[in-house]
Amino acid sequence: MPSSELSEKNYRRICFINWALAVPVLLIFSWPYYLLARLLEMHNLIALIGSVTFALPFMLTILHGHVTMALGAVHRHHYYEWLQGYPFTYGVLFHPIIISTRLRLTLYIVSMFFLAIGYFL
């Protein structure tokens, strides 16, 4: 009997893969911003906050893409509904706004704001 891609077992697998990818992808996208901030001699705290804020939209896009590739664009909402049912385990730190393009663009603009603020301070 073939297993369904819409099974809880598959959702858990996708969730674990996303959690395993989150930190490495965040680091991959945050280091260029951090290096630029250090070249501009920004305060270290502002550089760290800005680099994480810069990397988050890219990380969220890749993880959302992973869910889309695993389930398909038509079925990915089932996965996000499943996450909402587990707010203190699998769905920790998940909110429906996380998959919003508006949030990702806002985070990117905020990171550029941190870069401008840090440069002038």
Other Cβ atoms within 10 Å of 56 Cβ, number: 22
Place of tokens 């297993």: 3
What pLDDT is attached to residue 87? 87
* Cα–Cα distance for residue pair 99/36, rounded to 1 Å: 28
What pLDDT is attached to residue 90? 87
Q: What is the pLDDT of residues 59-106, one digit of tens each?
A: 999 999 999 999 999 999 999 999 999 888 888 878 888 889 999 999
Over the range 63-92, which residues count as b (16 or more CB within 10 Å of their CB) and which as e?
bbebbeebbeeeebeebbebbeeeeeebee
Query: Encoding tokens for residue 12?
Result: 């858990």
Q: What is the pLDDT of residues 33-50, one digit of tens each?
A: 999 999 999 999 999 999
DSSP 92: T
* Cα–Cα distance for residue pair 9/56, rounded to 1 Å: 27
Does the pLDDT value for residue 7 go beyond 90? no
Other Cβ atoms within 10 Å of 11 Cβ, number: 23
